[in-house]
Structure 1
Amino acid sequence: MPPQNLPPRDAIRLAAGELFVRDGYGATTVRAIAAAAGCDPALVIRHFGSKEGLFLATVSVSGDLTRILAGPLESIGRELVRYVLDGADSPVSGVYRALLSASDRPEIKERLRASMHDVFVSPLAERVGGACPELRARLAAAQFAGLINAYWLVGDPVLGGAEHDTVVELYGEAIQSLLSGEDPTPRRG
């Protein structure tokens, strides 16, 4: 139950954020959000227009990524891997799972794309350089998302049981090579 002194809009946002992360998008209803916020379901719709609108207003994936992506370029790959390994039980993993569970909705799929671009690709592409900085940044984002899926969503037992330092070195280097490796040699022919 949200603190009693919150304005209704803030109480709704707080309750929705907790429920979306805990139960996922599909299992969270406007009625459940309203009950947790201590208000009428009509008030939820009046403030946010729809369940999708409320979801988009309350769920964010940026977390500590902004700090990591602004850090030293030569260590970003390893720091991203540490972020995933250390964050399996963090609130951000719940946010990610909630976003993924709702990604079949066009508005939310578009938000995921925009967030990936704004939070991850654009800041990295500006710093990477080389012949194809945006492609490098997008491929690094894809590798990062792949590790999140394997570690946070699927719960791969081999990854979960592996020595963290080994995973950081191996996978961190794979991501890092996209960011700071040599440009590919153009094919002739």
Structure 2
Amino acid sequence: MENIKKLWFNLWSRYFETYQLMGIVEKILLSIIFSILTGLSAQIYIKLPFTPVPITGQTFIVLLSGILLGKTFGCLSQIFYFMGGIIGIPWFYGVSSGILRPTTGYIIGFIFASYIAGYYSEKKNKVFGMIVATIVIYICGILFLSIFIHKSIKDLFLIGILPFIPVDIVKAIVAGYLAKSIKRT
């Protein structure tokens, strides 16, 4: 077990050493890679019958983008993801694109969440930061969802947040502990 911990630490130490030596072009390329990963994770989804919002792996990738790329380039990766979908790249959930969708608010929330995840990955309370980032996704999500579904705040909470809390808590905790276990140099 001790050897695995050393290997894990060495792997991430090298990553962050290399990352700090990268120029802006390489960091932008990593941001593009994370935007693609976000798009790919949108295609792995569980459609729920009572809401237009699916369960996806995107929130975990969004948190990782902030943790591994830092707040600026993690945020940039999600801006690339959002803009790519707007211009027609079919990588939003269900191999679709466009801005007028019930899930657009969640995607806008990804931009803020990746920044928050990057910010908190450098602070002491990393798990708390990942939970805050997830809450920001929820808030942005239901604000936009309310445009499409004219319901009360309670109903929006029931269809736009509540079904996702258990899975997203696990994602946030795993991302937070991942951020804790890797040490930035």
TM-score w.r.t. length of structure 2: 0.40
TM-score w.r.t. length of structure 1: 0.39
